[in-house]
């Protein structure tokens, strides 16, 4: 709270947005009201590019919606003022508000993918805006739309397309162009790149930054990712539990963070290229740590969970010359070669990272290993079992040995079932444990994933758990059958930064104590560095680089690996023009 | 264009399957219509050989191989020759159906379309103004009305508007004193007679459309593209119609297709209550009178009209939703 000055002269031409003591409350029926934004004050000067950072539930998006008066019930502003260019946005009547949106304040939504009407062409989206405000003469509208689309680095031919025909990145660019067509003084970007692929994220952020400079609008960038924000903005507001806990220049925040919460957020960033990578609650992993060797495995009974028996066979997963070709997505197009001659071996107890941007084929590989899909060419073996030939019964056996942890903990759990029920199913279906033994197993599993007291957590429903806790339940479920291999598909990408380290540490711990081998699928090189010994970089279905994780990341050979590394948000790589 | 061709091919295929099933299913049943008639006569005394021959000649016995029968059946279907009705002998089935069809098509057809359009519009308004009386009034009364059984509404209307108040005639499609003709007098008379059955169908089906559209639209109103449209300052009307309603109507079209297909089946109960000489009324009498040729023709027609309606809705989908065109 540094920049609050309620006596600031409103006529000061320099100030575009002056928020005073703003509060937003959620009043859902049948639930206690939640003060999502609590007495927030700050000012924004013309031409500033300000970041608004916080984790989920911090109130940052609620604040963004309140600023542009887009909040919908049950959210309601219950105090304070928002002076935009001298007049209070909260006081405007609906029609004035609507017309103010042209040449006033615009918003780009989090999921730009869904921000476009699926049954209208891109051209019609532009025309709707021009018609609503009449700020572009009829004869110039077509040319103006083409010009706007070019500004976000798209070809004007997209105007004739429907949203469904564009990629996620293109759609987000279109939303930015639409927001720009309002010629706004203030742009609010609400997590504009979160739903996008890493490399695309980077490119879209670049576009936003260069537009901000060339179009000279004032901008607020809302994000959960302090790294992205520090890279792009000049000033940062850090939000925590509805309040702004820190407000300062990006460089100051980075070098002299004042608030504990900011310090905590910052501590979760590290450069995957560094010699020693350390995160809070996470053991340091030296770059020279016995490359390639598997760790000593604990005997059964050592860990919190007593395994069924000493593993009968320590089987490696062998992927041998595998290709997967999907039929063409549309008639007249080429078949899609998702994987092209990929070979590797996952030894027992090994942890291997499989990295690449979306579309690189990494998830396809996971499907082949779990037997969900069959390769077009090549072999997948688990020990002496040929996975590609398995039928129903064999697949069931395979799955008690090879388990998946999914990306989205919010949709991987049935919202109607308690944790106890969710975990009891695999115990019942994949082990011989019954009755008290099964119950004991369930509580052991919860202890292993750190959900204690287990009695309390067993009775909870998914919505009563945080994202990190849900992901722990998903991991516990995967462990229920005492698997030999865990395939984790982006297990932390949906989690808040502060929760990631905990889940990663759990995966690492399981491997050390329990000897589970881990195939860690991700686009996030920092987390790959933390939990894996070896790495394989996939690009367009081909392995472009492989080796010991720390060595590959510190000294990448392939250009694609370098691009992935550059895309990792790094607060230390500040925007150049910051004073 | 490719989309329409594909749908057309599928339509022809299902049509052929339906027509063929309609041929084979009755033949899987033991006995023939003549056997049934003779058995009925036999309960009253012995049936002479001459009577048997006469009945068989009158009702027809299948001759030739199954394939020959199938071929001649297909020929009959194409030429719309469904033979002679048993109960209304010697009228042909085709002429009876063609007399009844217009009444049903006009009454039930128009009312179904009207109910869909009205219900959708009211649903849009209710969702857009949700939480106000414009929402609660139609939603509550709609769900209240749709819980009434058809015939109960029909009887209530008949009693109060017809019998007590004498505003509308209580039976038939036109007065006994007028003859069907394209004159204002006849059309006015026919409209007056159609009013009560129409009102019945409208009242009982409107609620479903209102609630369906309202709920679908409340969902789309929460979608990001609606929020974004508002953020871009589009006019309220544009957001409501072109963004929210335009997307909300898509799932409802399927229901509309089924309802349209059901039009030709008529509203048996309503037509029965009002003595309205449409297809439903005809079907009811055909079943009561065990009139096989009439039943077969009606069933075929109902199947075909369901197929046609679904085909039309498929085409409409293609026009309205670019995502289905791929």
Whether B233 sits inside 8 A of A101 (CB atoms) is yes
Q: How far is it, in rounded angstroms, from Cα A432 to Cα A353?
A: 32
Of A70, A102, A133, the CB nearest to B230: A70
Mean pLDDT of A81-96: 87
For residue B43, how many C-alpha atoms fall within 13 Å in the half-sphere facing its CB? 5
Q: How far is it, in rounded angstroms, from Cα A247 to Cα A238?
A: 6
Residue of A325, A403, A335 lying closest to A369 (CA atoms): A403
| Residues A77 and A168 both lie in one domain | yes
| Residues A337 and A263 both lie in one domain | no
Whether B241 maps to a domain, the answer reads yes
- B62-94 burial, b at 16+ Cβ within 10 Å, e below that, comes to eeeeeeeeeeebeeebeeeebbbbbebeeebbb
Best probe of the B interface among A115, A124, A160, by most B CBs < 10 A, is A115
Beta strands in A46-135 (DSSP E): 49-53, 75-84, 87-88, 105-108
Could you report how far apart the first and last alpha carbons of chain B are, in Å? 11
Q: How far is it, in rounded angstroms, from Cα A491 to Cα A497?
A: 12
Both tokens of A524, joined, read: 């996030």
Q: Is the pLDDT of residue B230 over 50?
A: yes
Per the structure, the count of domains in chain B is 2
Mean pLDDT of A65-88: 87
| Residues B164 and B36 both lie in one domain | no
Contacts of B250 in chain A (CB under 8 A): 119
Mean pLDDT of A111-138: 89
pLDDT at A536: 92
Higher-confidence residue of A562 and A306: namely A562
Q: How far is it, in rounded angstroms, from Cα A532 to Cα A287?
A: 11
Mean pLDDT of A115-125: 92
CATH number of the domain residue A449 falls in: 3.40.50.300
Residue B22 · residue B298 · CB < 8 Å: no
Whether B86 maps to a domain, the answer reads no
Whether A184 maps to a domain, the answer reads yes
pLDDT category, A112, cuts 50, 70, 90?
Answer: low
Q: How far is it, in rounded angstroms, from Cα B127 to Cα B145?
A: 19
Whether B84 maps to a domain, the answer reads no
Considering only A268-272, A377-381, B20-24, B56-60, which range has the smallest mean pLDDT? B56-60
Whether A299 maps to a domain, the answer reads no
| Residues A552 and A435 both lie in one domain | yes
User: CA of A419, closest CA in chain B: separation in Å?
Assistant: 29
Q: Is the pLDDT of residue B219 over 80?
A: yes
| Residues A333 and A194 both lie in one domain | no
User: CA of B136, closest CA in chain A: separation in Å?
Assistant: 18
DSSP result, A310-326? S-S--PPEEEEEEEEEE
Higher-confidence residue of B6 and A275: namely B6
Higher-confidence residue of A90 and A278: namely A90
Q: Is the pLDDT of residue A6 over 50?
A: no
Whether A109 sits inside 8 A of B243 (CB atoms) is no
Of B228, B238, B247, the CB nearest to A175: B228
pLDDT at B61: 64
pLDDT at B186: 78
pLDDT digits (tens, 9 = 90+) for B262-271: 777 667 878 8
Q: Is the pLDDT of residue A11 over 50?
A: no
Best probe of the B interface among A74, A117, A123, A129, by most B CBs < 10 A, is A117
pLDDT category, B162, cuts 50, 70, 90?
Answer: confident
Whether B87 maps to a domain, the answer reads no
Residue where a domain terminates, one of B45, B78, B111: B78
For chain A, the average pLDDT equals 82
User: CA of A190, closest CA in chain B: separation in Å?
Assistant: 12
Q: Is the pLDDT of residue A390 over 90?
A: no
Considering only A564-568, B40-44, B62-66, B102-106, which range has the smallest mean pLDDT? B62-66
Whether A115 sits inside 8 A of B230 (CB atoms) is no
| Residues B182 and B144 both lie in one domain | yes
Per the structure, the count of domains in chain A is 2
Whether A308 maps to a domain, the answer reads no
pLDDT category, A578, cuts 50, 70, 90?
Answer: very low
Whether A132 sits inside 8 A of B234 (CB atoms) is yes
ipTM field: 0.78
| Residues A485 and A344 both lie in one domain | yes
Whether A106 sits inside 8 A of B228 (CB atoms) is no
pLDDT at B59: 66
Whether A128 sits inside 8 A of B232 (CB atoms) is yes
User: CA of B126, closest CA in chain A: separation in Å?
Assistant: 17
Residue A363 · residue A521 · CB < 8 Å: yes
pLDDT category, A127, cuts 50, 70, 90?
Answer: very high
| Residues B109 and B188 both lie in one domain | yes
Q: Is the pLDDT of residue A142 over 90?
A: yes
Closest-CA residue of B relative to A132 is B234
Considering only A473-487, A495-509, B56-70, B310-324, which range has the smallest mean pLDDT? B56-70
Q: Is the pLDDT of residue A44 over 60?
A: yes
Residue A83 · residue A18 · CB < 8 Å: yes
Closest-CA residue of B relative to A65 is B231
Q: Is A148 on the interface with B (CB under 8 A)?
A: no
Residues 56-85 of chain A whose Cβ lies under 8 A from any Cβ of chain B: 68, 70, 72
CATH number of the domain residue B157 falls in: 1.10.3720.10
Between the CA of residue B256 and those of A40, A453, B76, B310, what are the distances in Å?
Answer: 50, 54, 31, 9
pLDDT at A307: 43
Question: Which residues of B sit within 8 Å Cβ distance of A?
Answer: 223-225, 227-236, 238, 242-243, 246-247, 250, 320-323, 326
For residue A524, how many C-alpha atoms fall within 13 Å in the half-sphere facing its CB? 22
| Residues B146 and B30 both lie in one domain | no
Best probe of the A interface among B232, B239, B242, B246, by most A CBs < 10 A, is B232
Counting one residue from A and one from B, how many pairs have CB atoms under 8 Å apart?
Answer: 83
Both tokens of A117, joined, read: 């009407």
Contacts of B320 in chain A (CB under 8 A): 119
Higher-confidence residue of B295 and B47: namely B295
Determine the 3-state secondary structure of B282 from DSSP: helix
Of B233, B322, B326, the CB nearest to A98: B233
Between the CA of residue A508 and those of A87, A479, A513, B108, what are the distances in Å?
Answer: 55, 14, 9, 68
| Residues A321 and A261 both lie in one domain | no
Whether A295 maps to a domain, the answer reads no
Q: Is the pLDDT of residue A332 over 80?
A: no
Contacts of A70 in chain B (CB under 8 A): 227, 230-231
Partner residues linked to A545 by β-bridges: A537
pLDDT digits (tens, 9 = 90+) for A159-208: 999 988 888 888 888 999 999 999 999 999 988 887 777 788 888 888 89
Quote the percentage of chain A above a pLDDT of 90.
16
Containing B151, the helix (H) or strand (E) segment is: helix B150-157
Whether B233 sits inside 8 A of A114 (CB atoms) is no
Q: Is the pLDDT of residue A5 over 50?
A: no
For chain B, the average pLDDT equals 83
pLDDT at A350: 87
Q: Is the pLDDT of residue A266 over 50?
A: yes
Whether A71 maps to a domain, the answer reads yes
Measured at the alpha carbon of residue A395, what is the angle toward residues A393 and A397, in degrees to the nearest 5? 75
Burial of A109 from C-beta contacts in 10 A (0-12 / 13-18 / 19+): buried
Measured at the alpha carbon of residue A446, what is the angle toward residues A353 and A393, in degrees to the nearest 5? 65
Domain encompassing residue A160: 15-267
Whether A307 maps to a domain, the answer reads no
Higher-confidence residue of B103 and A195: namely B103
Q: Which of A39-53, A501-515, B83-97 has the highest mean pLDDT?
A: A39-53
| Greatest distance between any 2 Cα atoms in chain A | 79
Both tokens of A279, joined, read: 């995160």
pLDDT at A298: 37
| Residues B42 and B101 both lie in one domain | no
Q: Is A95 on the interface with B (CB under 8 A)?
A: no
Residue A472 · residue A491 · CB < 8 Å: no
Q: Is the pLDDT of residue B239 over 80?
A: yes
Closest-CA residue of B relative to A331 is B326
Contacts of A145 in chain B (CB under 8 A): none
| Residues B123 and B59 both lie in one domain | no
Whether A94 maps to a domain, the answer reads yes
Whether A499 maps to a domain, the answer reads yes
Burial of A59 from C-beta contacts in 10 A (0-12 / 13-18 / 19+): buried
Whether A182 sits inside 8 A of B232 (CB atoms) is yes
| Residues B225 and B266 both lie in one domain | yes
| Residues B220 and B102 both lie in one domain | yes
Q: How far is it, in rounded angstroms, from Cα B30 to Cα B32?
A: 7
pLDDT at B60: 64
Q: Is the pLDDT of residue A357 over 70?
A: yes
| Residues A470 and A350 both lie in one domain | yes
Mean pLDDT of A322-349: 82
Whether A119 sits inside 8 A of B230 (CB atoms) is no
Q: Is the pLDDT of residue A219 over 90?
A: yes
Q: What does the DSSP 8-state code read for residue B84? A: B
Partner residues linked to A537 by β-bridges: A355, A545
Between the CA of residue B252 and those of A114, B146, B209, B324, what are the distances in Å?
Answer: 21, 17, 8, 15
Residue A511 · residue A351 · CB < 8 Å: yes
| Residues B152 and B251 both lie in one domain | yes
Whether B88 maps to a domain, the answer reads no
Best probe of the A interface among B130, B231, B321, B322, by most A CBs < 10 A, is B231
pLDDT category, A288, cuts 50, 70, 90?
Answer: very low
Domain encompassing residue B31: 2-78
- DSSP H stretches of helix in A256-361: 260-267
pLDDT category, A49, cuts 50, 70, 90?
Answer: very high
Mean pLDDT of A283-308: 42
pLDDT at A228: 85
pLDDT category, A2, cuts 50, 70, 90?
Answer: very low
Mean pLDDT of A542-568: 88
Q: Is the pLDDT of residue B213 over 90?
A: yes
Considering only A85-89, A302-306, A340-344, which range has the smallest mean pLDDT? A302-306
Q: What does the DSSP 8-state code read for residue A383? A: T
Q: Is the pLDDT of residue B126 over 90?
A: yes
pLDDT digits (tens, 9 = 90+) for B32-79: 667 777 777 777 777 788 887 777 776 666 667 778 888 888 888 888
């Amino acid at each position: 709270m540094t920049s609050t000055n309620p006596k600031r002269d409103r006529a000061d031409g320099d100030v575009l947005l002056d928020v005073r003591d703003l509060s937003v409350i959620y009043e859902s029926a049948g639930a206690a009201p939640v003060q999502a934004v609590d007495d927030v004050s700050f000012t924004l000067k013309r031409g500033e590019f300000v970041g608004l950072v916080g984790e989920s539930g911090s109130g940052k998006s609620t604040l963004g919606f309140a600023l542009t008066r887009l909040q919908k019930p049950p959210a309601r502003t219950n105090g304070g003022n928002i002076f935009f260019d001298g007049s209070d946005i909260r006081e405007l009547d609906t029609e004035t508000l609507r017309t103010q949106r042209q040449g006033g304040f615009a918003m780009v939504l989090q999921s730009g993918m869904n921000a476009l009407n699926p049954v209208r062409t891109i051209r019609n989206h532009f025309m709707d805006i021009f018609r609503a405000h009449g700020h572009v003469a009829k004869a110039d509208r077509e040319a103006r739309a083409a010009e706007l689309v070019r500004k976000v680095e798209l070809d004007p031919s997209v105007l004739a397309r429907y949203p469904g025909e564009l990629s996620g990145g293109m759609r987000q660019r279109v939303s930015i162009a639409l927001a720009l067509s309002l010629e706004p003084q203030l742009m609010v970007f609400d997590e504009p790149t979160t739903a996008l692929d890493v490399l695309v994220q980077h490119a879209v952020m670049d576009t936003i930054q260069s537009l901000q400079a060339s179009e000279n609008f004032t901008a607020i960038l809302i994000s959960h990712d302090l790294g992205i924000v520090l890279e792009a903005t000049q000033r940062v507001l850090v939000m925590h539990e509805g309040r702004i806990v820190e407000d300062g220049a990006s460089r100051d925040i980075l070098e002299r963070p004042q608030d504990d919460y900011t310090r905590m957020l910052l501590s979760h960033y590290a450069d995957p290229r560094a010699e020693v990578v350390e995160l809070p609650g996470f053991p340091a992993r030296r770059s020279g740590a016995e490359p390639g060797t598997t760790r000593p495995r604990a005997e059964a009974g050592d860990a919190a969970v007593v395994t069924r028996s000493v593993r009968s066979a320590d089987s490696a997963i062998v992927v041998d010359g595998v290709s997967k070709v999907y039929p063409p997505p549309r008639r007249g197009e080429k078949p899609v070669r998702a994987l092209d001659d990929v070979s590797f071996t996952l030894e027992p107890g090994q942890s291997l990272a499989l990295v690449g941007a979306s579309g690189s084929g990494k998830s396809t590989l996971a499907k082949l290993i779990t037997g969900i899909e069959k390769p077009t060419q090549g072999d997948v073996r688990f020990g002496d079992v040929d996975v590609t030939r398995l039928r129903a019964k064999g697949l069931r056996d395979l799955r008690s040995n090879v388990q998946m942890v999914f990306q989205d903990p919010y949709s991987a759990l049935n919202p109607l079932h308690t944790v106890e029920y969710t975990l009891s199913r695999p115990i019942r279906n994949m082990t011989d444990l019954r009755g008290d033994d099964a119950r004991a197993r369930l509580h052991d599993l919860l202890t292993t994933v750190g959900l204690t007291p287990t009695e309390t957590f067993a009775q909870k429903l998914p919505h009563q758990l945080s994202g990190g806790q849900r992901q722990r339940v998903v991991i516990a479920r995967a462990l229920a059958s005492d698997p030999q291999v865990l395939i984790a598909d982006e297990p932390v990408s949906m989690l808040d930064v502060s929760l990631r380290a905990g889940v990663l540490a759990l995966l690492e711990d399981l491997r050390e104590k329990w000897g589970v081998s881990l195939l860690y699928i991700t686009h996030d090189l920092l987390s790959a560095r933390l939990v894996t010994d070896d790495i394989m970089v996939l690009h367009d279905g081909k392995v472009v680089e492989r080796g010991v994780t720390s060595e590959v990341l510190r000294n990448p050979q392939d250009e694609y690996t370098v691009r992935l590394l550059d895309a990792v948000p790094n607060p230390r790589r500040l925007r150049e023009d910051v004073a | 264009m490719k989309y329409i061709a594909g749908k057309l091919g599928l339509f022809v295929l299902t049509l052929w399957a339906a027509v063929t099933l309609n041929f084979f299913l009755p033949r899987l049943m033991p006995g023939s219509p003549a056997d049934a008639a003779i058995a009925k006569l036999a309960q009253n005394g012995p049936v002479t050989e001459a009577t048997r021959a006469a009945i068989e000649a009158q009702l027809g016995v299948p001759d030739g191989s199954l394939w020959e029968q199938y071929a001649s059946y297909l020929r009959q279907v194409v030429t719309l020759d469904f033979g002679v009705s048993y109960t209304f002998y010697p009228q042909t089935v085709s002429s009876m159906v063609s007399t009844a069809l217009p009444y049903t098509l006009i009454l039930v057809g128009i009312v179904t379309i009207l109910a869909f359009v009205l219900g959708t519009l009211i649903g849009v308004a209710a969702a857009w103004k949700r939480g106000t009386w414009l929402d609660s009034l139609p939603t509550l009364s709609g769900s209240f009305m749709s819980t009434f059984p058809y015939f109960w509404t029909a009887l209530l209307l008949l009693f109060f508007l017809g019998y007590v108040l004498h505003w509308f005639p209580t039976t038939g499609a036109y007065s006994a004193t007028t003859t069907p003709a394209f004159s204002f007098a006849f059309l006015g008379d026919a409209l007056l007679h159609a009013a009560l059955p129409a009102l019945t169908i409208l009242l009982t089906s409107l609620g479903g459309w209102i609630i369906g559209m309202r709920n679908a639209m409340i969902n789309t109103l929460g979608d990001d593209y609606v929020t974004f449209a508002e953020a871009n300052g589009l006019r309220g009307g544009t957001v409501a119609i072109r963004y929210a309603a335009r997307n909300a109507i898509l799932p409802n079209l399927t229901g509309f297709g089924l309802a349209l297909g059901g039009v030709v089946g008529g509203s048996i109960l309503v037509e029965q209550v009002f003595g309205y000489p449409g297809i439903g009324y005809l079907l009811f009498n055909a079943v009561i009178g065990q009139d096989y040729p009439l039943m077969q023709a009606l069933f075929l027609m109902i199947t075909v009209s369901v197929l046609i309606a679904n085909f039309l809705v498929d085409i409409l989908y293609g026009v309205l939703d670019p995502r289905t065109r791929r």
